[in-house]
Amino acid sequence: MGGSSFGQAFRVTTFGESHGPAVGAVVDGCPPRLALAVEDIQRDLDRRRPGQSRLTTQRQETDRAEILSGVFEGRTLGTPIAILVRNEDARSGAYEAMRDVYRPSHADFTTEAKYGLRDWRGGGRASARETTGRVAAGAVARALLDAVAGAEVLAWVSQVERISTPVDLETVTREAVEANAVRCPDPATAAAMADRIDAARRDGDSLGGVVECVVRGVPAGLGEPVFDKLEAELAGALLSIPAARGFEIGSGFAGARLTGSAHNDPFVPGPGGRPRAATNRSGGVQGGISNGEPIVVRVAFKPTATIARAQDTVDRDNNPVTLAAKGRHDPCVLPRATPIVEAMVCLVLADHWLRQRAVDVLPPIN
């Protein structure tokens, strides 16, 4: 019950509410002896935290990570890793006017329909504040993937509303992504996106868009062939992010317009006596299992639901009311969603890497 845990071998449980004393995560299943410092976690939390620029919510949270257990003298112990992040700038008074009103397209009504009550202070568990724990846990998973496979997980904003840009998946770098507040690696497109987000903010409105993510260095063989296909688990993980509304891998929906002869990825001889795909329309996954090529996914995010513009809605007594929400909200979730996308991808891949170790107990049969 509750749906706050994720993964099988590498299992994560997040906890905390938006305006409670703290949020965080417990990671269970991380192997022992992995080098891990609080700075590894803080690096990703700093990219997710609010108040980074005029393009994000102005809630001021330092999001300082505290490792409470599972790490000793810079190494994981193999026991549960508990990570705490204290809330420092929750202002619940801004939500008083919304305690008996259902915000359009938000989780207010559905949460109350399920549980019979809700934490109206900032949305409680339905708030994107919950993703703080995901990013903290994802940083642990990232450290594991780097140690065992040298894998790199990199996401960026590829589209805001109708403004988009193609990105070279082989050459895009984190330095280019982090060079601006939008987290779009193309400077000219990033400037146009920033202007459009700022205009929406001034107008009391919000915007959606797309985050793209590439994973380089993933070995072949991760994933399962039936229900736990790697692309299915990536889709479930990424669509669980607040405001996520669509998922694509590889060619995505564009592949539906191609013939098989145009879409198939032909195999050619590869290094180490293993084949490799000459193209990557599969997005690095075939038959539910990674093929060793870069994994390429895209996540569509809707415009932020809570906006300052007046909207028609109803209260808890089903009376029509007009709501102009107060509080501090992102006019566009995309810039802060990139580390969350990376975190969820890291969690899926770390989980499947550990699950594959169980398959690799015996040597292959020749």
Query: Domain map of the chain by residue range?
Result: 5-359
Q: What is the pLDDT of residue 2?
A: 64
Listing DSSP states for 207-270 in one string gives: B-EEEEEEEESPPTT-B-SSTT-HHHHHHHHHHTSTTEEEEEETTGGGGGGS-HHHH---EEE-
Which residues have a Cβ under 8 Å from the Cβ of 186 and sit 6 or more positions away? 165, 167
Q: What is the pLDDT of residue 4?
A: 94
- Whether residue 70 contacts residue 82, with contact meaning beta carbons closer than 8 Å, is answered with yes
CA 269 to chain centre: 35
- Whether residue 267 contacts residue 278, with contact meaning beta carbons closer than 8 Å, is answered with yes
Q: Would you state the CATH architecture of domain 5-359? A: 4-Layer Sandwich (3.60)
- Whether residue 99 contacts residue 120, with contact meaning beta carbons closer than 8 Å, is answered with yes
- Whether residue 85 contacts residue 131, with contact meaning beta carbons closer than 8 Å, is answered with no
Question: What CA–CA distance (Å, rounded) separates 144 from 30?
Answer: 8
Question: What CA–CA distance (Å, rounded) separates 151 from 129?
Answer: 27
Q: What is the pLDDT of residue 97?
A: 74
Question: What CA–CA distance (Å, rounded) separates 206 from 254?
Answer: 27
Which residues have a Cβ under 8 Å from the Cβ of 216 and sit 6 or more positions away? 151, 152, 154, 294
Mind listing the pLDDT tens digit of every residue in the chain (366 residues)? 568 999 999 999 999 998 888 999 999 999 999 999 999 999 999 999 876 666 766 556 688 999 999 999 999 999 999 999 998 866 666 677 778 899 899 899 999 999 998 888 878 888 888 999 999 999 999 999 999 999 999 999 999 999 998 999 999 999 999 999 999 999 999 999 999 999 999 999 999 999 999 999 999 999 999 999 999 999 999 999 999 999 999 999 999 999 999 999 999 999 888 899 999 999 999 999 999 999 999 999 999 988 888 899 999 999 999 987 776 678 999 999 999 999 999 999 999 999 999 887 677 666
Q: What is the pLDDT of residue 146?
A: 97
What pTM, to 2 d.p., does this model score?
0.94
Q: What is the pLDDT of residue 255?
A: 97
Q: What is the pLDDT of residue 96?
A: 75
Q: What is the pLDDT of residue 362?
A: 72
For 141, the 3-state DSSP assignment is helix
If 0-12 CB within 10 Å is exposed, 13-18 middle and 19+ buried, where does residue 151 land? buried
Question: What CA–CA distance (Å, rounded) separates 166 from 185?
Answer: 10
